[in-house]
């Protein structure tokens, strides 16, 4: 479900954050705890956590314990470190290569997409110009386009230019995030007061300088949010690199791990690398979870700051 991943809590941004913190009565309602609700909620959390616990437990087991011991507890041997060594030793350390590729593709795409979206969103929000409405509706309409509709012809176009099987074949298409433009427009409309721009103009600052020195700072919290989610979208992308890349050295983690998993089905040459795949999967989600927990906080303080300033 790739489209989901590109999306952002829009309402969180579009509602005027300024009114939130102050008008809420914080303490009163929160006092009455419900044990019943607490139990229900924690039971539901079990559903979300069990697969992740299973993944951790499984990454501590060797290939045969994987299937013969209970999935939510350790096996007789603690094999985690041995598995990690195997993951990094596989094909001369190609796993590390995949990790670096993923960071490169996701990082460059996220920064690029955020910059493009911020500039466009800012212009849509703060300037009136012929074609404003039309171009904006075109952008909105683009959100609905299914990704394969683009991936196939993009592949054909790229290969006629000889840039398939290069990092650019994954990065270039990921630079376009119509939804991010929409968000930044909504966010810029609230976060950048027109009076500030007028003041800059009176001082004789150029439009681009106003953008870089005044607006960009105000837009930062929105940009972090957009960047976080475009980062996740590229990090998680599977279809595009699957189509575009051939060399094992260029693959991101998603395609690499899926390919590793598929070696178990290669007929005569098949290798059952289940514990390697599982440990590789476990390791690959750690940075993302950490980034999420960390950026989650950043993103929320970002919203709060935006609120105070507004």
Partner 1 sequence: MSKTIQRKQTLVAYGFILPFFAVFAAMFVAPLAYSGYLSLYVNRLVGGVSFVGLENYARAFEDSRFLEGLGRTALILVTQVPIMLGLALFFALALDSGRARGSRTLRLLIFLPYAVPGVIAVLMWGYIYGQSFGLIAQISSGVGLPSINLLSDELILFAIMNIITWAFVGYNMIVMYAALKSIPGELYEAAEIDGAGQWRLAWSVKIPMIRPAILLTTIFSIIGSFQIFNEPKLLVEIAPTGITQGFTPNYYAFNLAFVNQDVSYAAAIAFLLGFVIMIVSYVVQLSTQSRRFQS
Partner 2 sequence: MRHGARKAAVAITSITTVVAMTLSGCSSDADTGTTTEPTGSTDGRITDEQRLEALTTPTNLTFWTWVPGVEDQVALFEAAYPAISVTVENVGQGLDHYSKVRTASQAGSGAPDVVQLEQQFVTSFAVTGELLDLTPYGATDLADDYVPWVWNQVVANGQVLAIPQDSGPLGNLYREDILAAAGVTEPPATWADYKTAAELVRANTDSYISNMAPGQGAGWVGLLWQAGVKPFGYDGGEGVTINVNGADAKEVVSYWQDLIQNDLVSVDADFTDEWYQGLNQGKYAGWLTAAWAPVFLSGAAADTSGLWRAAPLPQWDVNNPSSGNWGGSVNAVLKASENPIAAYELAKWINHAQEPALLFATQQNFFPTKISVLEDPVFAAQEPEFYGGQRVNEVFAGISETVDTEWEWLPFMEFAYTSFNETFGAAVAAKGDLSAGLDAWQADLEEYATQQGFTVNG
Tell me the closest approach of the beta carbon of residue 249 to partner 1, in angstroms: 19
Tell me the closest approach of the beta carbon of residue 90 to partner 1, in angstroms: 16
Cβ-based nearer residue to partner 1, 97 or 118: 118
Positive or negative, the Cα torsion across 193, 196, 198, 201? negative
Q: Is 130 helix (H, G, I), strand (E, B) or coil?
A: coil
Cβ-based nearer residue to partner 2, 26 or 269: 269
Cβ-based nearer residue to partner 1, 220 or 258: 258
Cβ-based nearer residue to partner 2, 64 or 301: 64
Tell me the closest approach of the beta carbon of residue 78 to partner 2, in angstroms: 21
- Which of 299, 173, 150, 145 shows the shortest CA–CA distance to 226? 299
Q: Rounded to an integer, what distance in angstroms lies between the CA atom of residue 306 and that of residue 302? A: 6
Positive or negative, the Cα torsion across 242, 5, 137, 190? negative
Tokens of 198: 């007028």
Which does residue 23 touch among partner 2, partner 1, none (CB within 5 to 8 A, set by kind)?
Answer: partner 1
257 neighbors 187 (Cβ within 8 angstroms): no
Tell me the closest approach of the beta carbon of residue 161 to partner 2, in angstroms: 6
Let me know the angle formed at the C-alpha of 267 by 248 and 164, rounded to the nearest 5 degrees: 25
Which does residue 216 touch among partner 1, partner 2, none (CB within 5 to 8 A, set by kind)?
Answer: none
Binding site for partner 2 (CB under 8 A): 64, 66-67, 155-168, 171-172, 242-243, 246-248, 259, 262-272, 274
Count of CB atoms within 10 A of residue 187's CB?
28
Cβ-based nearer residue to partner 2, 159 or 300: 159
Q: Rounded to an integer, what distance in angstroms lies between the CA atom of residue 242 and that of residue 237? A: 9
Which does residue 7 touch among partner 2, partner 1, none (CB within 5 to 8 A, set by kind)?
Answer: partner 1
Tell me the closest approach of the beta carbon of residue 167 to partner 2, in angstroms: 7
Cβ-based nearer residue to partner 2, 96 or 194: 96
Which does residue 98 touch among partner 1, partner 2, none (CB within 5 to 8 A, set by kind)?
Answer: none
Q: Rounded to an integer, what distance in angstroms lies between the CA atom of residue 13 and that of residue 223? A: 11
Token pair 């300037």: residue: 127
Tell me the closest approach of the beta carbon of residue 113 to partner 2, in angstroms: 14
Tokens of 182: 């929409």
């Amino acid at each position: 479900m790739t489209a989901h991943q590109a999306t952002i809590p829009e309402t969180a941004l579009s509602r005027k954050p300024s009114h939130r913190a102050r008008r809420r009565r914080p303490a009163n309602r929160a006092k009455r705890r419900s044990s019943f609700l607490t139990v229900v909620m924690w039971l539901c959390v079990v559903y979300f956590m069990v697969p992740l616990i299973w993944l951790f437990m499984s990454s501590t087991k060797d290939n045969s314990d994987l299937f013969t011991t209970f999935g939510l507890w350790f096996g007789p041997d603690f094999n985690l470190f041995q598995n990690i060594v195997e993951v990094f030793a596989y094909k001369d350390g190609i796993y590390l290569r995949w990790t670096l590729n993923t960071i490169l593709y996701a990082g460059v795409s996220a920064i690029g997409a955020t910059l493009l979206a911020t500039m466009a969103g800012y212009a849509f929000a703060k300037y009136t110009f012929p074609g404003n409405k039309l171009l904006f509706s075109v952008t909105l309409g683009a959100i609905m386009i299914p990704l394969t509709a683009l991936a196939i012809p993009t592949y054909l176009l790229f290969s006629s230019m000889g840039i398939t099987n290069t990092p650019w074949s994954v990065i270039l298409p990921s630079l376009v995030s119509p939804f991010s433009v929409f968000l930044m427009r909504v966010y810029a409309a609230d976060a950048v007061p027109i009076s500030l721009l007028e003041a800059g103009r009176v001082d004789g600052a150029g439009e681009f300088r106003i953008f870089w020195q005044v607006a960009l700072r105000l837009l930062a919290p929105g940009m972090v949010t957009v960047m976080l989610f475009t980062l996740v979208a590229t990090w998680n992308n599977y279809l595009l690199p699957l189509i575009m890349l051939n060399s094992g050295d260029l693959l991101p983690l998603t395609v690499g791990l899926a390919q590793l998993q598929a070696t178990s089905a290669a007929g005569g040459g098949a290798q059952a690398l289940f514990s390697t795949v599982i440990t590789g999967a476990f390791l690959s989600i750690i940075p993302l979870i950490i980034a999420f927990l960390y950026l989650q906080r950043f993103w929320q303080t970002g919203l709060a700051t935006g609120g105070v300033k507004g």
